[in-house]
Amino acid sequence: MIKIFVTGGTFDKDYDEKNGRLYFKKTHMNEILALGRSKVEVNIETLMMLDSLDMKEKDRELIVKKCTGAYEEQIVITHGTDTMTNTARVLGAKHLKKTIVITGAMIPYKFGTSDGLFNIASDLAYVQTMPHGVYIAMNGRVFLHDKVIKNRKTGIFEEIK
């Protein structure tokens, strides 16, 4: 069984047509997995629905606590892309005997052109095949938690050499 922790991020944002703003309602994870016809056994738990720029130290502490306490050794975390490297480093410092893959999306799932569906499918494969450790996976690439940066100019995650 794979544990999926939802924390919000662009992945789960909805669009309010009346005021033209993005907002959080509920996770789309069940819908995404159904659309992808996933047969992987998962246990989904929403921890928070935040833009990662609004994430505080207490929020990261909750993520660490939930990952530490999870029965499952394979964990996927959906997260906003702006600060997922911060969360990955905090988790990596704990040296948990688990495989944790953090992912997000650059475009909200509800927009229909999101990379989120591809990312979550990739993450389900990565979490089942990678050795214990903390990883960030975006757009078909997977990085060690302490060897990745988001290039703010291109919006692409890159390996730190």
Torsion 5-156-132-35 (CA) sign: positive
Q: What is the mean predicted confidence (pLDDT) over 118-124?
A: 93
**Predicted pLDDT of residue 23:** 66
Q: What is the mean predicted confidence (pLDDT) over 107-133?
A: 88
At residue 141 the predicted structure's pLDDT band, cuts being 50, 70 and 90, is very high
Q: Tell me which amino acid residue 135 is.
A: Y
Least confident of 11-15, 62-66, 115-119: 11-15
Query: Nearest Cα to 135, choosing from 80, 89, 70?
Result: 89
Q: Model-level pTM greater than 0.85?
A: yes
Query: Nearest Cα to 7, choosing from 37, 41, 52, 72?
Result: 52
**Predicted pLDDT of residue 31:** 86
Residue 24 has pLDDT above 90, yes or no: no
